[in-house]
Amino acid sequence: MDLSEFAAEVGTADPVTISGTGSRGGAVAGVRTVGAPSGIDWLRADEMTVGVGAGTTVAELDHALVEVGQFVAIPPGGTVGGALAVGRSGLRRLGEGPVRDALLQARYISAAGNVVKAGGPTVKNVSGFDLCRLLVGSFGTLGFIGDVILRTRPRARHEQWYVTTTDPLVVFDTMYRPTSMLWDGTTTWILLAGHERDVERAARRHDLQPVGGPPDLPDGGRWSIPPSDLRSLRGTFIAEVGVGLVHHAERPPARPVSTTLQALHRRIKHNFDPTGRLNPGLDVLDGG
């Protein structure tokens, strides 16, 4: 399926929702469902870019990139389009950056059924309003992503998770470019990536002990705090050190959203989708 066929399927009138594998929430119930084009269109390892359909699974993309020693900083699971639409970065955000930074160009289907291009195939030739960043985290309420150009990165030769009971802020201040740091109030988990000897040397320097992987994350909810407020955390949690995200066992209390922010989101939504036909009922302000 090409973009013109996808645009025709989305149409211009009735409410419509989009779904991939359903791993990040899936389609809106009771609404006509469409799926984005899938497949890897091209891979330019020398330019460190790849073009894929939004319906391509992250696993398929990662498998292709392994062959050229590269990766895309998108969390595992589901489809590429789903990961971008939800916009939640994975546990490697400290070292790899937010998921929105992986997106160079997107072609999406607007509420009017038109194919719209946002961004460009390279960083240097993009100017004007950055629609790509607006699409990331919009939950498909502004447009349905059809295909994208993503920035790739070199894949580390070796990586290993470690643990320590040293104060996480002390480790953070002295550790050179960890890929991830997690803390539960007692133990700090650290992911180091690079050349195997460099990783082992850093682990010995900080007296880190190897472990099989990161801890299981609490599923009550997650919210942001200033990174400097880390020591104020209480209860059962896993905090992403240096990022300011906290995963709690207890569902966080509802936080009021300013009327200014609400008005801004409504105005953006109205400009992109005046009749509210794209993923109707989803509220970006409360995470869908």
Has residue 42 been placed in a domain? yes
Q: Are residues 17 and 149 part of one domain?
A: yes
**Spatial contact of 214 and 161, defined as CB atoms under 8 Å apart:** yes
Has residue 164 been placed in a domain? yes
Write down the pLDDT at residue 288: 42
Q: What is the dihedral of CA 66, 68, 73, 77, to 10 degrees?
A: -30
Q: Are residues 128 and 21 part of one domain?
A: yes
Write down the pLDDT at residue 127: 56
Q: Please compute Rg for the chain using Cα positions.
A: 20
Has residue 86 been placed in a domain? yes
Cα(73)–Cα(91) distance, rounded to whole angstroms?
10
Judging by DSSP bridges, how do beta strands 115-119 and 40-44 pair with one another?
A: unpaired
**Spatial contact of 149 and 49, defined as CB atoms under 8 Å apart:** yes
CB atoms within 10 A of CB 186: 6
3-state secondary structure of 185: coil
Tell me 114's DSSP state: -
Strand partners, 209: 163
45-55 residue pLDDT tens: 999 999 999 99
Q: Are residues 141 and 165 part of one domain?
A: no
Q: Are residues 33 and 96 part of one domain?
A: yes
Structural domain of 56: 3-154
* Alpha-helical regions (H) of the chain: 3-10, 58-66, 80-86, 93-96, 131-135, 168-174, 196-205, 259-272
Cα(233)–Cα(173) distance, rounded to whole angstroms?
19
Write down the pLDDT at residue 123: 58
Q: Are residues 87 and 150 part of one domain?
A: yes
Query: Which of residues 94, 122, 154 is at a domain's end?
Result: 154
**Spatial contact of 100 and 108, defined as CB atoms under 8 Å apart:** no
Q: Are residues 167 and 148 part of one domain?
A: no
Has residue 136 been placed in a domain? yes
Q: Are residues 70 and 131 part of one domain?
A: yes
Write down the pLDDT at residue 60: 97
Q: The pTM is what?
A: 0.90
**Cβ within 8 Å of residue 252, ≥6 positions away:** 220, 221, 222, 223
Has residue 261 been placed in a domain? no
156-185 residue pLDDT tens: 999 999 999 999 999 999 998 999 999 999
Task: Find the angle CA(50)-CA(56)-CA(57) to the nearest 5 degrees.
Answer: 110
Q: Are residues 122 and 18 part of one domain?
A: yes
Q: Which residues of the chain have pLDDT under 50?
A: 288
Has residue 282 been placed in a domain? no
Query: Which of residues 154, 185, 205 is at a domain's end?
Result: 154
Q: Are residues 198 and 220 part of one domain?
A: yes
Q: Are residues 147 and 21 part of one domain?
A: yes
- By C-alpha distance, which of 286, 280, 281, 278 is closest to 135? 278
Q: Are residues 187 and 58 part of one domain?
A: no
Has residue 280 been placed in a domain? no
Has residue 93 been placed in a domain? yes
Domain of 99, CATH number, reads 3.30.465.10
Q: Are residues 194 and 95 part of one domain?
A: no
- Domain count along the chain: 2
Two tokens at 103? 């997106």
